[in-house]
């Protein structure tokens, strides 16, 4: 965990990786559009397009464990890379997370961007390496232009956070007291699946941001109960929920609020529908719900 977010140069070199789910023709087209969006925004993109052409291991992974593990380790150790950006979520990161963090233990931190199944890597980097990461859009998400397509990201906002031109974001004001805490979390059911693996953050009094998609209320309750009983979520300073569609958010939050003493908030810019913004995970943040503002300190020595 760090007290300041390490920013990168204004025109960062981005390495695109494929650590999770596999690709069909539609996903490959969306990935290419996302890469083009990064290039138009001024990023220097390093992308091996053949990685998205690999046969799907087990019928749903973007290559074998060995292929995906090797690609990730190379991305985090390759000279000149500023940001490692996940191509998509899906599944499979938990199969390689421990080996990857073991291999990176003696290397300097490098930022990872992603969400959904990338939650596994974000959590593992926080817990096992003490590295910050960014919960934000995967590259295929950058192809979305309308909410009907899923989550929509403002790439300018994401890059402003990465480069230190932004150290705050706004959300809908709601009743509550300000707090300072490390920011952790991600996809709820992915986090619950990590219980017992030694990958979950063990930071007490953290601000947990949680999102999920296509889970029935009872499935969200099951994952929340597991995470609450087996992790530091039980000692959270607060829980900040993003999108949970199609589950009805208000009713779900009322139900879950009865299970935890910590205050629960809504409208985190995180999830598979609606706005998805760059959130500095594993970093101490100032959270002010009444003002609808999240702020953090940046470390420009890394720029």
Among 71, 91, 193, 272, the one annotated catalytic: 272
Spatial separation of the C-alpha atoms in residues 43 and 13, rounded to whole Å = 6
Spatial separation of the C-alpha atoms in residues 114 and 93, rounded to whole Å = 12
- Look at residues 67, 153, 77, 145 and name the one whose alpha carbon lies nearest to residue 113: 153
- Look at residues 168, 190, 138 and name the one whose alpha carbon lies nearest to residue 279: 168
Spatial separation of the C-alpha atoms in residues 20 and 72, rounded to whole Å = 11
Spatial separation of the C-alpha atoms in residues 85 and 141, rounded to whole Å = 12
Assess whether 272 carries a catalytic annotation: yes
Among 18, 166, 211, 231, the one annotated catalytic: 211
Answer whether 197's CB lies under 8 Å from 191's CB. Answer: no
- Helix (H/G/I), strand (E/B), else coil: 299: strand
Task: Name residue, tokens 């963090």.
Answer: 101
Paired tokens of 265: 């908030």
Spatial separation of the C-alpha atoms in residues 161 and 171, rounded to whole Å = 16
Assess whether 215 carries a catalytic annotation: no
Spatial separation of the C-alpha atoms in residues 283 and 7, rounded to whole Å = 12
Among 116, 133, 166, 231, the one annotated catalytic: 116
Q: Per-residue DSSP letters for 5-44?
A: EE---SS-EEEEE--SB---HHHHHHHHHHHHHHHHTT-E
Q: How far is CA 3 from CA 12, 286, 303, in A?
A: 22, 11, 16
Active-site residue set: 116, 211, 272
């Amino acid at each position: 965990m760090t007290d300041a977010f390490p920013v990168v140069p204004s025109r960062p070199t981005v390495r695109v990786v494929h650590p999770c789910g596999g690709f069909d023709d539609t996903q490959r087209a969306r990935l290419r559009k996302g890469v083009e969006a990064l290039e138009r925004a001024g990023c220097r993109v390093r992308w091996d397009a053949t990685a998205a052409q690999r046969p799907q291991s087990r019928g749903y992974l973007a290559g074998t464990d060995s292929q995906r593990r090797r690609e990730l380790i190379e991305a985090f150790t390759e000279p000149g890379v500023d940001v490692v950006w996940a191509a998509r979520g899906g599944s499979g990161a938990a199969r390689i997370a421990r080996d990857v963090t073991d291999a990176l233990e003696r290397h300097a931190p490098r930022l990872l961007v992603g969400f959904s199944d990338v939650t596994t890597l974000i959590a593992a980097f926080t817990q096992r390496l003490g590295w910050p990461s960014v919960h934000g859009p995967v590259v295929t998400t950058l192809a979305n232009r309308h909410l009907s397509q899923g989550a929509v990201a403002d790439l300018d906002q994401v890059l402003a956070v990465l480069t230190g031109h932004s150290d705050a974001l706004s959300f809908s004001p709601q009743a509550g007291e300000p707090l300072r805490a490390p920011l952790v979390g991600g996809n709820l059911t992915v986090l619950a699946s990590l219980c017992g693996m030694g990958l979950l953050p063990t930071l007490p009094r953290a601000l947990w941001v949680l999102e999920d998609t296509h889970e029935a209320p009872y499935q969200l309750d099951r994952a929340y109960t597991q995470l609450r009983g087996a992790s530091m979520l039980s000692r959270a300073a607060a829980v900040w929920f993003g999108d949970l569609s199609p589950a009805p958010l208000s009713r779900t939050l009322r139900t879950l609020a009865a299970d935890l003493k910590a205050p629960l908030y809504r409208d985190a810019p995180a999830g598979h529908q609606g706005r998805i913004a760059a959130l500095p995970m594993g970093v101490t943040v100032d959270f002010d719900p009444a003002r609808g503002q999240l702020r953090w300190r940046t470390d420009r020595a890394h720029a």
